[in-house]
Amino acid sequence: MTLTAPPAPAVPRTVPPAPPGAARRAWRTVSPYAYLAPFFTLFVAFGLFPLLYTAFVSLYRVELQTPGDMEWRGLGNYTALLRDAYFWVSLRNTFTIGVLSTVPQLVMALGLAHLLNHRMRGRTFLRTAVLLPYATSVAAATLVFAQLFGRDFGLINYVLGLVGIDPVDWQNGTVASQIAVSTVVIWRWTGYNTLIYLAGMQSVPVELYEAAAMDGASRWRQFFHVTLPGLRPTILFTVVVSTIGATQLFGEPLLLEGSVSGGISHQYQTLGLYLYEQGWGFFHLGRAAAVAWVMFLLILVLVGLNALIARRRSRKEAGR
């Protein structure tokens, strides 16, 4: 049985299974893209394309009734914006409401997270309970708060009356209405940020606390010298996310009274609401696109600023 053919097995042996093997290998290189295809098809069509195309649309006159007709306007939409006093009002309101809502929200969240980071009974319940507002929609939350903030029969004015404060006009007062809008934001998002901070705090190595305690640092000092520095990336994250959210604010000012102008003198109209008013109140889609693009630039500037400040601070601290 030594009549076997000359030894040339290496090549023939690989040949028979080669067709399926090659196909399989080809499939192996292609199949990753098949896994990505469903997401990326949708992503390009409904995510990426609209974002990029916004810049293009902002250079045209496009009306809501005839969105297919586009007429070149160059920078006309932008100059129209800059000339509109209400654009500036809404830009300013976006800033003030942004500060009024973001700062207390994050400070409170930090405090609550610190408390929740202790050993305690019912921690799961407490965590879930502070997150409860996160489950509600902007619309539902705002409608309830609009009721609570009612000028004549609202519960908040009633309680203020009990301590001798005159009824506040939460709709028409500029500062008051902005506080009302911010309250809804604070209520909905404080719990969410609390959990983010809590997660960050739990990843601070416990040895650092032990070392600090050994050095005789009080709990208070530990919070400032161990917890906060360890939390810096998390804080930056929440500041960025909240800033972006604040730039977008729409549902809260829309539903405080239900009008797109954000109050009779636009006293709490935000950029998000102004965009909606331009597009779906006045039918100027092109101009609304210009507003969107301005908002995008604003976000870029604010996020860049945040990153810059964060980097500076950490460099300062490193140099200390």
Pick out residues in 18-47 that bind other proteins (CB under 8 A): 24, 27-29, 31-33, 35-36, 38-40, 42-43, 45-47
Q: Measuring CA to CA, which residue among 91, 98, 89 is closest to residue 263?
A: 89
* Residue 320 to residue 315: CA distance in whole angstroms: 9
Q: Which span (82-90, 261-269, 281-289, 304-312) binds other proteins, by CB under 8 A?
A: 281-289
- Tell which positions 117-156 bind other proteins, by CB under 8 A: 117-120, 124, 126-148, 150, 152-153, 155
Comparing CB distances to other proteins, the nearer of 76 and 133 is 133
Stretch touching other proteins by CB under 8 A, among 81-89, 96-104, 173-181, 271-279: 271-279
CB burial string 4-27: b at 16+ within 10 A, e below: eeeeeeeeeeeeeeeeeeeeeeee
Residue type, position 162, single letter = L
Kind and range of the H or E element at 50?
helix 49-57
Residue 60 sits at φ, ψ, to 5 deg, of -125, 160
H helix or E strand, kind and range, residue 212: helix 206-214
Q: Measured between alpha carbons, how far is 134 from 146 in angstroms, rounded to an integer?
A: 18
Interacting positions 184-223 with other proteins (CB under 8 A): 187, 190-192, 195-196, 198-200, 202-206, 209-210, 219
Q: Does 174 bind other proteins (CB under 8 A)?
A: no
- Nearest distance, CB of residue 314 and other proteins, angstroms: 19
- What is the SS3 assignment for 78? helix
Q: Does 116 bind other proteins (CB under 8 A)?
A: yes
Number of residues that bind other proteins (CB under 8 A): 109
CB of 319 to other proteins, least distance (A): 28
Asked if 297 contacts 320 with a C-beta cutoff of 8 angstroms, the reply is no
Instruction: Single out the residue of 81, 181, 239, 288 in contact with other proteins (rule: CB under 8 A).
Output: 288
